């Protein structure tokens, strides 16, 4: 029987806001809060809601059901901090919306748990109201009032006929943008999302991720399977800039497609983005300035990264597949001759050089994160994310070519039969 971790280690990601970093791995969320040169760690887990009444079932049936649930009900599909960093929202593989709130004493308490109809691709919390917004794979977007009763259902904000891939909520909850597999980005007024502001059209493949720039709330950034990152005016849908990434990375000789953009992470205090491309080891750092998006640095990673995020100090956290240190940290430094930051990898001190209390705060957090991740993986290597977006490309089939091929084969058989010598039959 396959190990339970083989079904959930695919969804491992990292998030950060203010002085907090969250590592989401298997069935746990590890939240690190730094303060006064140290850190405090909290572990959030998926609550067990299975019924304890097993008297009506045989032990065999109960065991089989338990094994089946073990393979499918582990892990999280998405998660995010609130803008105030006091809430953490996540959606489990059980299709449940979970919301934790940090108390004044520093403890994270689960205060909301809702059932969802489908698996979700993104969850966000509003800035001006106590509302969680989730987008599912079917293209529907729901809003859940977190203060209401646990059995209350969500409010449908909008429905789509295509698979939703990402979602962002604008500054002060002014608008909601959703991207999908059909190359479209829809921008709607929030919370009355039936009022569509505009569509951002131009991508030739699925739109995999969206991002908002902190210093330019009027623009929207998107990444796609067509190998481009594009900047849009979110009010009019006009394309402001297009950056082709196909010529900037080594795709290999066998690749016929443009590299798909799988993640865009924004530096909170700047208009800098970290861009991940499916199947490549490079992390591209992009900067929006003077109405132009340009590459300011290419960070070479040992393996294709699975996820990235920036913290409040501008450090870049990267989740890779290295067995010993899957999470790496890159710290920014200003170049001497230019007012441009460059990111360099921070190395952990060698073992034996001082105790844990003497480590810098970032080193202590990084060391503990890698230890927690290794314990959760239980000796398994983190799988590479190469080709993880391959199923989103549309496959085109031509009935004419199949018909012509069969016709050619039939004509060849008839031609071969006509060339065979005929044998005269004697009476």
Give the CATH number for residue 307: 2.130.10.10
> What is the residue-level pLDDT of the chain in tens, covering all 427 positions?
444 444 445 678 999 999 999 999 888 999 999 988 889 999 999 887 654 434 444 455 545 555 545 455 678 999 999 999 999 999 998 899 999 999 998 899 999 999 998 999 999 999 998 999 999 999 999 999 998 777 778 899 999 889 999 999 998 899 999 999 999 999 999 999 999 999 999 999 999 999 999 999 999 999 999 999 999 999 999 999 999 998 887 665 556 788 899 999 999 988 999 999 998 888 999 999 989 999 999 998 888 899 999 999 999 999 988 777 889 999 998 765 566 678 999 887 766 555 555 678 888 999 999 988 888 777 676 766 656 788 898 877 667 777 888 888 888 888 888 877 766 656 5
Do 229 and 102 reside in the same domain of the chain? no
Domain that holds residue 224: 210-350+363-379
> Residue for token digits 């989730």?
134
Query: Residue 269: in which H helix or E strand, if any?
Result: none
CB-CB contact of 219 with 288 (8 Å): yes
CA gap 299, 345 in Å, rounded: 9
Q: Give 167's contacts (C-beta < 8 A, 6+ positions apart).
A: 121, 122, 124, 133, 135, 141, 176, 177, 178, 179, 210
pTM for the predicted model, two decimal places? 0.84
* DSSP string across 297-366: EEEE-SS--SEEEE-TT--EEEE---SS--EEEEEEEE-SSSS-EEEEEPPPPPTTSS-GGGS-HHHHHH
**CA 406 centroid distance within chain:** 44
The sign of the torsion formed by the CA atoms of 145, 146, 148, 149 equals positive
Task: Tell me if 392 is assigned to some domain.
Answer: no
CA–CA distances in Å: residue 162 to residues 178, 366, 379, 392: 11, 39, 38, 11
* Count of domains forming the chain: 2
Q: Is the peptide bond before 107 cis (omega within 30 degrees of 0)?
A: no
CA nearest to 87, candidates 147, 169, 154: 147
Identify whether residues 139 and 248 lie together within a single domain.
Answer: no
CB of 156 within 8 A of CB of 199? no
Residue 405 resides in a domain = no
Same domain, 263 and 369: yes
């Amino acid at each position: 029987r396959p190990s339970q971790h083989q079904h959930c280690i695919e969804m491992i990601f990292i998030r950060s806001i203010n002085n907090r970093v969250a590592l989401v791995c298997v069935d746990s969320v590890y939240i690190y809060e730094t303060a006064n040169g140290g850190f405090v760690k909290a572990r959030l887990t998926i609550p067990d809601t299975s019924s304890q009444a097993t008297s009506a079932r045989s032990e065999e049936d109960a065991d089989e059901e338990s094994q089946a649930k073990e393979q499918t009900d582990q892990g999280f599909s998405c998660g995010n901090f609130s803008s105030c960093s006091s809430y953490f929202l996540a959606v489990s593989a059980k299709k449940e919306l979970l919301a934790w709130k940090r108390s004044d004493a520093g403890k994270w308490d689960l205060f909301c748990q809702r059932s969802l109809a489908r698996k979700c691709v993104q969850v966000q919390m509003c800035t001006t109201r106590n509302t969680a917004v989730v987008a599912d794979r079917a293209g529907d977007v729901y809003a859940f009032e977190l203060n209401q009763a646990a059995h209350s259902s969500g409010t449908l904000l909008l429905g789509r006929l295509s698979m939703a891939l990402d979602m962002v909520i604008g500054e002060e909850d002014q608008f909601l943008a959703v991207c999908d597999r059909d190359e479209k980005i829809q921008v709607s007024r929030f919370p009355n999302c039936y009022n569509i502001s505009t569509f951002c059209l131009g991508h030739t493949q699925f739109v995999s991720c969206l991002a908002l720039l902190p210093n330019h709330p009027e623009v929207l950034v998107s990444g796609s399977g067509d190998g481009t990152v594009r900047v849009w005016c979110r009010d009019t849908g006009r394309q402001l800039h297009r950056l082709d990434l196909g010529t900037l990375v080594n795709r290999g000789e066998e690749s016929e497609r443009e590299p798909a953009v799988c993640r865009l992470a924004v530096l909170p205090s700047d208009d800098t983005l970290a861009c991940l491309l499916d199947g490549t080891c490079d992390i591209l750092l992009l900067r929006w300035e003077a109405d132009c998006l340009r590459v300011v640095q290419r960070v070479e990673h040992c393996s294709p990264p699975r996820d990235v995020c920036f913290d409040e100090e501008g450090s870049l956290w990267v989740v890779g597949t290295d067995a010993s240190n899957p999470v790496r940290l890159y710290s920014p430094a200003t170049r001497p001759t230019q007012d441009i930051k460059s990111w360099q990898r921070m190395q952990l001190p060698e073992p034996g050089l001082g105790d844990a209390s003497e480590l810098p705060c970032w080193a202590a957090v990084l060391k503990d994160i890698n230890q927690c991740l290794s314990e959760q993986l239980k000796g398994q290597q983190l799988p590479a994310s190469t080709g993880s977006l391959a199923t989103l490309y549309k496959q085109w089939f031509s009935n004419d070519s199949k018909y012509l091929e069969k016709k050619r084969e039939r004509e060849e058989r008839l031609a071969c039969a006509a060339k065979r010598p005929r044998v005269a039959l004697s009476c």
